[in-house]
Amino acid sequence: MATLNAAVTKVAPSFAVATGPNDTIYAETASQIVKLAPNGTTVWSRSLDPKAVGCGGSEGFVHNLAVGSDGAVAVHGNTGVARWDTNGNLSWATAVSAGGEYGVAIDPQGVVNVAILSPESGEPIDLARFAADGTPLASVEHITSQYHGMFVIDAGGRLFATASGHSHTDGFGDSVDLDDPDYAPNGICAAGTDVAWLYQADDNTTFARDWTVNRYHGDHSQVWTYRGKVMNTAGFFEEFGTIPLDIAGAPDGRIAIVGSFSGPTYNGGWIATFKP
């Protein structure tokens, strides 16, 4: 297991985080979408369109925020998806059924791809697709074979997906058996030409999670592994520690993970960044 240099920042609780052009950072809270400069100062902040509000009760890596190569941003909420341009102007919002899945990605052509559960069986994940101007496009069926997952599209247009269900989680060609009998949160991101897969072996704990992130090159060779650890604190009923909520990668290969933390002296959000 590699020892990584990770910078950690405490932040207000956030649902999702994504990187944008020129090292900008986009974060989604319960009611807003915020664009940050590389030094953390706010560029703009906008109230979420009603269709983009909410992440339901979905466990784990909702990844319902995406940023395009031009700085446009899309958010998938409980009842639909909305797009803002790089200056924070609302472009459009349209109704889309979440069905328990909240993944969204903007491909190199500016198409907004939205994860939905397959209407045929409710198991595989399909993509509903919209052009940059909001025009509906043909959907893509069965990007995963399971029902709880996430996907990402890299700068070259490659689509990567991870999913969990039926006592195992799968990502980038690998599979991990779960202690949980059903599913556990999982996520994936593109970081330059690499891919990072984040997963949990179970979701039974309350205040902390045992989680792992693996980084791979495009040829599937593994670069490193990092594992989040649970704190055993005497005198408390539950174990303390981190719960990751989303993962994002930058074109230069950096990785960011956003989550929450419960501990004896701090309860709130955090962002950890990893160098290539």
Q: What is the predicted pLDDT for the residue at 63?
A: 75
Is residue 109 one of the residues assigned to a domain?
yes
Q: Three-state SS across the chain?
A: CCCCCEEEEEECCCCEEEECHHHCEEEECCCEEEEECCCCCEEEEEECCHHHCCCCCCCCCCCCEEECCCCCEEEECCCEEEEECCCCCEEEEEECCCCCCCCEEECCCCCEEEEEECCCCCCCEEEEEECCCCCEEEEEEEEECCCEEEEEECCCCCEEEEEEECCEEEECCEEEECCCCCCCCEEEEEECCEEEEEEECCCCCCCCCCEEEEEECCCCCEEEEEECCEECCCCCCCCEEEEEEEEEECCCCCEEEEEEEECCCCEEEEEEEECC
Q: What is the predicted pLDDT for the residue at 9?
A: 52
What does the pLDDT look like over 164-177, one tens digit per residue?
A: 888 888 888 788 88
* pLDDT greater than 50 at residue 136: yes
Range of the domain at 214: 6-274
What does the pLDDT look like over 220-272, one tens digit per residue?
A: 899 999 988 777 666 556 678 888 877 888 888 999 888 888 887 878 888 88
* pLDDT greater than 50 at residue 101: yes
Read off the CATH number of the domain in which 49 is found: 2.120.10.30
Judge residue 12's burial from the number of C-beta atoms within 10 Å of its C-beta, 0-12 exposed, 13-18 middle, 19 or more buried. Answer: exposed
What does the pLDDT look like over 108-128, one tens digit per residue?
A: 999 999 988 877 766 788 899
Is residue 167 one of the residues assigned to a domain?
yes
Q: What is the predicted pLDDT for the residue at 3?
A: 42
Is residue 226 one of the residues assigned to a domain?
yes
The closest of 263, 261, 266, 258 to 62, measured between CA atoms, is 258
Q: What is the predicted pLDDT for the residue at 98?
A: 64
Largest CA distance in the chain: 57
Is residue 35 one of the residues assigned to a domain?
yes
* pLDDT greater than 90 at residue 161: no
Is residue 42 one of the residues assigned to a domain?
yes
- Report the predicted TM-score, pTM, of the whole model to 2 decimal places: 0.79
Is residue 161 one of the residues assigned to a domain?
yes
Q: Note whether 64 and 77 are within 8 A (CB).
A: yes
- Alpha-carbon distance of 147 to 126, in angstroms, equals 10
**28 forms bridges with which residues in the sheet?**
16, 33
Q: What is the predicted pLDDT for the residue at 135?
A: 97
**Averaged confidence pLDDT in the chain:** 83
* pLDDT greater than 70 at residue 146: yes
- Alpha-carbon distance of 195 to 1, in angstroms, equals 17
Q: C-alpha distances in angstroms, 67 versus 85, 104, 108, 217?
A: 10, 9, 11, 22
* Rg for the chain, CA atoms, rounded: 17
Task: Give the count of domains, the chain.
Answer: 1
What does the pLDDT look like over 177-209, one tens digit per residue?
A: 887 778 888 889 899 999 999 988 777 667 778
Identify the residue with better confidence: 33 or 236: 33
| Percentage of the residues of the chain whose pLDDT score is greater than 70 | 86
- Alpha-carbon distance of 176 to 212, in angstroms, equals 11
Q: Note whether 141 and 114 are within 8 A (CB).
A: no
pLDDT band at 1 (very low <50, low <70, confident <90, very high): very low
Is residue 231 one of the residues assigned to a domain?
yes
pLDDT band at 6 (very low <50, low <70, confident <90, very high): low
Is residue 1 one of the residues assigned to a domain?
no
